[in-house]
């Protein structure tokens, strides 16, 4: 019997299986509004128990990658409505990932060319992003020098997330996922190796978690905690994040706080698959004890590893990223033991429909 393909109820939301399509930036929204090709892309993959959309910036300030669809204008809401309607018509469920990259940006993305914002004014050394170029291509550039948010500005960013969450519900999403991983705005506050603030958002663990938890609470109050998820990457090193003394205690404290909030889920990402440090052995067991709600895990899972993780109780749902790029019918391939297609890395972020919606479903001879 396959645990992975069983029905799962997530805070009253019934999922057809335990397979999650992980959020993946695909950079196809050339005017920052979801396109008809995006509608096709998500509809093709709607047999996943849950789709988590690509990161969607909550504001112009939150942007940091070329051609990513936002959720802060009326046009974007209308574009996303077509996506959610297509997924629902296939019997699927879809959450939107709410995104603010913080310092992981460039002035070309920012309103009036202003500096990106962060917990501190320290640039992410050696890190790059993409800005729009000619003919819908992108240009790789180093991150711009950020500025530190003033204490009284932080709640304004939280409100940007609240507005985006309300927009997402208007657009028909089944819920939202707060992107608090990969070295973006929330992790820039959580990480004690970066955050050297001396106000209420810096210093001890409680202060470094404050911005994240204030945003979780504000979104939960606006749309319901049962429609609110969050993605984290304990021990993450992307975007020039570094280790710090109370690192494990920080993530376990966050797990305890999130347990108290009865969220839709926590989505835990192991960045080893992205070429970064792996989550230390034994940590997942500790986190599972700290956080007792629905837990999604991601990180280069195969079908066999996913089944084992579910059987051993390390997770409730398993997220798959790149396998969904080239296998829109991934769930059916898993169910039937059909072969998997390897995606073309050269088309992950470039091109239009090539490498995006032209991967075929499997046909039995």
With 0-12 / 13-18 / 19 or more C-beta atoms within 10 angstroms meaning exposed / middle / buried, residue 173 is: buried
Active site (annotated) includes residue 349: no
The answer to whether the beta carbons of residues 82 and 39 sit under 8 Å apart is yes
**φ, ψ dihedrals at 295, nearest 5°:** -120, 125
DSSP secondary structure of 141-197: EEPPPPEEPPGGGHHHHHHHHHHHHHHHHHTT-SEEEEEE-TTSHHHHHH-TTT---
Q: CA-CA distances (angstroms) from residue 32 to 48, 57, 65, 127, 236?
A: 25, 10, 11, 23, 28
DSSP 13: E
With 0-12 / 13-18 / 19 or more C-beta atoms within 10 angstroms meaning exposed / middle / buried, residue 277 is: middle
Give the separation between CA 152 and CA 190, rounded to whole angstroms: 18
Give the separation between CA 297 and CA 320, rounded to whole angstroms: 9
Handedness of CA 310, 316, 317, 318 (dihedral sign): negative
Residue with tokens 């504001």: 59
Contacts of 234 (CB under 8 A, 6+ apart): 247, 248, 251, 268, 279, 283, 287
Where would I find the H helices in the chain?
36-44, 74-89, 154-170, 185-190, 205-223, 247-259, 283-290, 303-311, 322-326, 330-336
Active-site pick, 41, 42, 72, 184: 184
Q: Which two tokens stand for residue 14?
A: 């019934």
Handedness of CA 102, 107, 110, 116 (dihedral sign): positive
User: Active-site residues: which are they?
Assistant: 184
């Amino acid at each position: 019997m396959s645990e992975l393909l069983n029905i799962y109820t997530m805070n009253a939301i019934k999922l057809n299986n335990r397979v999650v399509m992980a959020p993946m930036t695909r950079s196809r929204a050339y005017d920052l509004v979801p396109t008809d090709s995006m509608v096709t892309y998500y509809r093709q993959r709607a047999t996943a128990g849950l789709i988590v959309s690509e990161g969607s910036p909550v504001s112009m300030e939150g942007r940091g990658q070329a051609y990513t669809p936002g959720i802060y204008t009326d046009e974007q809401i209308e574009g996303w409505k077509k996506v959610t309607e297509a997924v629902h018509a296939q019997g699927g469920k879809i959450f939107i990932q709410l995104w603010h990259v913080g310092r992981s940006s460039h002035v070309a993305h920012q309103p009036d060319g202003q500096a990106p914002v962060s917990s501190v004014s320290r640039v992410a050394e050696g890190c790059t992003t993409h800005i729009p170029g000619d003919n819908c291509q992108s240009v790789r550039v180093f991150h711009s020098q950020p500025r530190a948010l003033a204490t009284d500005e932080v709640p304004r960013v939280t409100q940007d997330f609240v507005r985006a969450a309300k927009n997402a519900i208007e657009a028909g999403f089944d819920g939202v996922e707060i992107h608090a991983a990969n070295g973006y705005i929330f992790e820039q506050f959580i990480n004690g190796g970066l955050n050297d603030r001396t106000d209420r958002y810096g210093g001890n663990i409680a202060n470094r978690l404050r911005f994240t938890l204030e945003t979780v609470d504000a979104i939960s109050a606006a749309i319901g905690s049962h429609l609110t998820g969050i993605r984290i990457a304990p021990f993450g090193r992307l975007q020039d994040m570094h280790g710090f003394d109370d690192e494990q205690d920080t993530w376990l404290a966050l797990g305890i706080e999130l347990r108290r909030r009865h969220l839709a889920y926590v989505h835990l990402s192991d960045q080893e698959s992205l070429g970064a440090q792996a989550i230390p052995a034994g940590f997942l067991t500790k986190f599972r004890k700290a956080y007792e709600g629905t837990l999604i895990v991601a990180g280069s899972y195969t079908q066999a590893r996913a089944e084992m993780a579910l059987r051993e109780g390390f997770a409730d749902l398993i997220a798959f990223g790149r396998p969904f790029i080239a296998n829109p019918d991934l769930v059916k391939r898993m169910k039937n033991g059909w072969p998997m297609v390897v995606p073309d890395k050269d088309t992950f972020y470039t091109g239009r429909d090539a490498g995006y919606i032209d991967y075929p479903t499997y046909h039995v001879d």
